[in-house]
Amino acid sequence: MKFWTGTAFTPTTDAIALARILDEVGFDGIVVSDHLIYPRELTSPYPSPTGKPMWTPDTAWPDSWVLIGAMAAVTQRIRFTNAVYVAPARPLLEVAKQVATAAVIADGRVALSVGAGWMREEFELMGQEFSTRGRRLDEMIEALPALWRGGWVSWTGKHYRIPELMIEPHPPEPVPIMCGGESEAAMRRAARLCDGWVGSAYTWDEAVHRVERLTALRREYGRESEPFEIMLAFREKHSVDLFKRAEDLGVTAVMCSPWARTTEPSAEQTGSSPADRYRPQIEKFAQDILSRMP
């Protein structure tokens, strides 16, 4: 079992200190969330019962690849990915260039986790077609490895036509591509085209349902014997037993934020450095959970 954590809803300036601590104590990876903007007039429905995002307009969403590059520069072994990156809101070449650069800075310690997105306003502001985002994402997933090979590369598809060119630097090794999302289309995309799937937070029964569905879809596409990452979070109380059972189920990575389950910092902690605020909870999780996993 691999253990990941995220930077969502933490102050952007805390991320570097967090990355150092997580690298030191033995976490396997960090996920970075993605949004470009929050429009004053938001008409796109968020995929939830309320149809509204759970965050406020002033919530910070730092650029994924700038932040990953910065964290990679101060760490040695921890890996990085997204949860998730709205790739079809950007031009294909821009995505290829940003991920390749981060992969080089991180010496290959990155994966790209993509999602189709839900906010039409982001697509329109970036000049990308919203209605074709799913089909374009499917093609992106196939095109990116071709563009990352190094040397003269090109791509010809239905939605993208890239003439022969060089994109340097190129990744030092293949970049895994995972897919996020809970819709049937997203899970089929992951099972058919990707190296893994990134979910959200679930009860145990919900997690079982997701894993079983992914297993059935991978079997349908003839990919059940290929390596495949399944990353998600649990709403259950964290314990060694929970994570061992999850591993037996087929979950390969869990997302945990130890500091998110504690009370607000004390007055003394509030004025301290980010390392001092987060380190006690992270080190306790490492002692109670990481050190006891096989």
pLDDT score recorded for residue 81: 98
Omega before residue 84 within 30° of 0, cis: yes
For helices 92-105 and 64-73, the axis angle rounded to 10 degrees is: 10
For residue 270, pLDDT over 60 is answered with no
148-162 mean pLDDT: 98
The whole-number pLDDT of residue 259 equals 86
Give the pTM. Answer: 0.94
pLDDT-based confidence at residue 224 (cuts at 50, 70, 90): very high
pLDDT of residue 266: 44
The CA distance from 264 to 232, in Å, is 25
Picking from 36, 24, 18, the residue whose alpha carbon sits closest to that of residue 85 is 36
Quick: pLDDT tens for 165-188: 999 999 999 999 999 999 999 999
- Cα–Cα distance between 3 and 106 in angstroms, integer? 19
> What mean pLDDT, rounded, does the chain reach?
94
- Correct CATH for 2-292 of 3.40.50.150, 3.65.10.10, 3.20.20.30, 3.40.50.620: 3.20.20.30
pLDDT score for 271: 55
Dump pLDDT digits (tens) for 98-119.
999 999 999 999 999 999 999 9
Which two three-digit tokens encode residue 41? 């007039």
Least confident of 65-74, 114-123, 252-261: 252-261
pLDDT tens, position by position, 10-53: 999 999 999 999 999 999 999 999 999 999 999 999 998 899 99
Can you tell me the distance from the alpha carbon of 144 to that of 110, in angstroms, rounded to the nearest whole number?
14
> What pLDDT, on the 0 to 100 scale, is given for residue 274?
72
